[in-house]
Structure 1
Amino acid sequence: MPAGKHGISQSSVSTQPFLIMKVKYPALLASLFGMANATGQPVEIVRLGHVGPTSGNMAHYGKDTRNAAFMAIDDLNARKLVIAGKRIEFRLEVEDDAGDPRQGTLAAQKLCDTGVAAVIGHINSGSAIPASRVYRDCGIPFLSPGSTNPKLTQQGYKNTFRMLASDKALGAGVAAYAARNLKIKTIALIDDRTANGQGVTDVFRARAKAAGIEVVAEEFTNDKATDFSAILTKIKGKNVEAIFFGGGDAQAGPLLRQMHQLGMSDVRLLGGDGLCTSHLAELAGNAPALSRVVCAEGGASLASMPGGAEWKKRYDARFPKEYILFSPYTYDGFLVIADAMKRSNSVNPSQFGPRIVEANFKGVTTEIRFDEAGDLQAPAITLYSYKDGAKTPLE
């Protein structure tokens, strides 16, 4: 199958009928593409999959992680890895889930049928959780670089891993900061009813109440909404000190603008990683309420990541002004897969898959070690605010 830039397949899967068969160990199909390099050493093609929302209102997140997948594939191929006596050439298969659960499961099944050895993707929990069942059934490893809902790794699937902190850490961290540092006494909750939004809001609610913060209002929206005037008007009548929003930046931006329009710029907006992006200022039109935002992101700040600063320079040189949030975790996910392949001396998921949980790998983001559930053993979080419109780590 001919491949274009970044090793992405350019020909349609439907033109290769033997590829659309569902197989338990799809990486074995790679051997069908065996060839020899210039030195006569056999070359084996190994396909890795990436899924992200490259259309819809979350497209900026998905394009960011897709960029990291391009970088990872090219970096791995530059290393000219040899596994089981064969030079490995990685190819990338990319699918769009639009942040939608149904489209996510269809994308997952397509990648299984195409014959990928592993998948790194599905950044939102609503897509990742149902897709994880598909990958379990077809027997390939699945690493999510963005799904933070605890349910992802509570299903007991031995092939499923999370590359960053879960909502348990994010919601708890924001709640603790709100009570201890901001001295918040009353708060309203808004969530977008997605798996991610509900998950982080549920954790925040429990931890906030335990810390003595009174939840005086709970409102709900959806991940397509842009008009929050009715919700905010109801909340304004409660005289709350802060709002916790479980949702993404595409909604948080308009929410901040409308808070200012309703005279609520002195009310703090708190949230998890969904709204905690470098694009929030732009989406909020730099509304005054932006300066009152506090949000949490899984992992260390880029400047504090072991390889963050240098990696970001390379990313920006190749994809200027496209960095959002989850791309470093995506990049590390591909390297974790390659590391497991090397340690098992195999590109067969049945062989390298069980070795992923044994990872002890120094990535761009952190020292990557998983617990038995597939979560990081010591996930870090970072709290951020926005100073002069720039996302800035809190001390």
Structure 2
Amino acid sequence: MKKLRRLFLAVLIHSAFSGSPALAASAADNTQTVLIGFAGPLAWPLAQSGQYGVQLAIDEANRAGYSMNGKKIVFKLLAMDDKADVAVAGFVAKSMVTAGVAGVIGHWLSAPTIVAAPIYAAAGVPQISASAAAPEFTQQGYATSFRAVGSSEDVAIAIAEFATQELKSKRIAIIDDTTAFGARMAELFAEQFRSPNQVVVRSTVSNKTSDFNAVLTQFTAGEVDLIFFGGYLRRSEDLVRARQRLRVSAKLFLTGSVVNPIFLSMIQGAGDGLFASAPGKHYEEHPQFKALEKNFHAKFRTGISVYTVSSYDACNTLIAAIKKANSLEPHRIVEELHKIRHKGLLGTVAFDANGNLQNPAFTVYRIQDQRWVPVKTYDVRRKSCAPDIGTGTAACDRN
């Protein structure tokens, strides 16, 4: 087994560097290559869009030019595939450290991100996730761990407020796909309601199945006016199709990564009454977005998702910290990340002492005319206790 692991690690490193110009940097040309890592399931279209966002930020930084200690800095992307597997994520993190990255954008899913964190922390390498929402990531106490989007705790507050105040939901079914993300998201959402009568159904489905029939037929027509689903993109597609097939009238609120053109093509018009939340403010309204969109389409010939933008913001934040530190010493970069305020497309990126986004924002979208249309944006302020959303009255003050 140990031989197999060593062989796998060697293959990862070889595949990452094979033909890479990062190893070809020459002292004679007075340049210095700085590696920025990206880790995630690279075969997944959405993770790939995040990788592209990092590459775009790197390209822009290199065009702008930057020198350190008399040498021109050339940023290079080192992308590694963790296959959304916690075992592989550990090998990838060690490979990133061995390669000498200045920082890592990733990992993609929460579980691999959490597993990789102590490895980066031991090496002092900053890790900024642009997608992992599990609160546990930044609760491990590592100074090197940062999150460029709000956590599941943050978004649960925004979704619950929207469900009760905007959708006027009074009878809610909560379902999750038993993944670490989905189950935790459903739990946090349920905690926002103090009235036991509001959550009338609480169910789970296996993340290995596409069968939602039993879950959706356990309540009668009209018994539920909103279905909340904590789960990933593939199971979300299955739920949408089952809801349409069974003619369930309740509105559906999805989580995870569905606010993107990929999901719209997957459900093919079955989006009536669908809502979802996405990190950050509505980025298409940002004055810099048109230029980014033009450059992105010209280079990658594909659509932009919110996680393209969050990854772009995370990489730009890391590069800004490197420039402020004027050093490639990991601890200097980490120190600057704890102080930084970077204006990103999704909002200002600034971290609290634990590495969480200080003032996370979320936008609720709905499907309209085969497009995700923004409905309302929430600026979340963390609080020490939960408000009584069921009655609409605050039980405590937000921090």
Give the TM-score, by structure 2 length.
0.84
Contact 1:245–1:252, Cα closer than 8 Å, also in 2: yes
Question: How is 1:211-290 mapped onto 2 (pairs within 5 angstroms)?
Answer: 214-236=198-220, 239-264=223-248, 266-287=249-270, 290=271
Report whether the alignment pairs 1:52 with 2:40.
yes
- The residue that corresponds to 1:23 in the other structure is none
Shift of 1:373: 1.2
Contact 1:48–1:93, Cα closer than 8 Å, also in 2: yes
Question: How is 1:33-52 mapped onto 2 (pairs within 5 angstroms)?
Answer: 33-37=25-29, 42-52=30-40
Name the SS for the 1:98 alignment partner: coil
Gap regions ≥5 residues in structure 2: 1-10, 377-399
> Deviations for 1:302-330, whole angstroms, at most 9, x for unmatched residues?
22345333322322232233323301111
Name the SS for the 2:227 alignment partner: strand
Please tell me the residue identity of whatever aligns with 1:206. E
Question: How is 1:258-337 mapped onto 2 (pairs within 5 angstroms)?
Answer: 258-264=242-248, 266-287=249-270, 290-305=271-286, 307-337=288-318
- Shift of the 276–210 alpha-carbon distance from structure 1 to 2, 3 Å rule, reads farther
Distance 1:137 1:128 in 2: 15
Report whether the alignment pairs 1:375 with 2:380.
no
- The residue that corresponds to 1:4 in the other structure is none
Please tell me the residue identity of whatever aligns with 1:281. L
> Deviations for 1:223-258, whole angstroms, at most 9, x for unmatched residues?
443222222222457831121111122211121111
Contact 2:103–2:126, Cα closer than 8 Å, also in 1: yes
Contact 2:36–2:75, Cα closer than 8 Å, also in 1: yes
State which of 172, 186, 190 in structure 2 corresponds to 1:187: 172
Contact 2:150–2:360, Cα closer than 8 Å, also in 1: yes
Distance 1:283 1:145 in 2: 23
Distance 1:144 1:213 in 2: 37
- The residue that corresponds to 1:156 in the other structure is 141
- The residue that corresponds to 2:120 in the other structure is 135
Name the SS for the 2:272 alignment partner: helix
Shift of 1:157: 0.9
Distance 1:92 1:112 in 2: 14
Contact 2:127–2:145, Cα closer than 8 Å, also in 1: yes
Shift of 1:31: 11
Contact 1:142–1:159, Cα closer than 8 Å, also in 2: yes
State which of 355, 359, 383 in structure 1 corresponds to 2:336: 355
Please tell me the residue identity of whatever aligns with 2:27. M
Report whether the alignment pairs 1:388 with 2:332.
no
- Shift of the 329–15 alpha-carbon distance from structure 1 to 2, 3 Å rule, reads closer
* Larger displacement relative to structure 2 (271-280 or 122-131): 271-280
Shift of 1:14: 4.5
Distance 2:295 2:206 in 1: 36
- The residue that corresponds to 1:3 in the other structure is none
State which of 202, 227, 238 in structure 1 corresponds to 2:187: 202
- Shift of the 280–138 alpha-carbon distance from structure 1 to 2, 3 Å rule, reads same
* Larger displacement relative to structure 2 (139-148 or 311-320): 311-320
Contact 1:271–1:295, Cα closer than 8 Å, also in 2: yes
Distance 1:32 1:274 in 2: 37
Distance 2:200 2:95 in 1: 45
> Deviations for 1:333-382, whole angstroms, at most 9, x for unmatched residues?
22212211111110121222211111122223322221111112211110
- The residue that corresponds to 2:381 in the other structure is none
Shift of 1:199: 2.6
Please tell me the residue identity of whatever aligns with 1:193. T
Question: How is 1:68-87 mapped onto 2 (pairs within 5 angstroms)?
Answer: 68-87=53-72
CA RMSD of aligned residues (A): 2.5
* Larger displacement relative to structure 2 (334-343 or 220-229): 220-229
Distance 1:212 1:228 in 2: 24
Shift of 1:16: 11
Please tell me the residue identity of whatever aligns with 1:228. F
Distance 1:211 1:292 in 2: 25
Distance 1:165 1:16 in 2: 30
Give the TM-score, by structure 1 length.
0.85
Total equivalences in the alignment: 363
Contact 2:39–2:82, Cα closer than 8 Å, also in 1: yes
Report whether the alignment pairs 1:178 with 2:163.
yes
Contact 1:361–1:369, Cα closer than 8 Å, also in 2: yes
State which of 42, 67, 78 in structure 1 corresponds to 2:52: 67
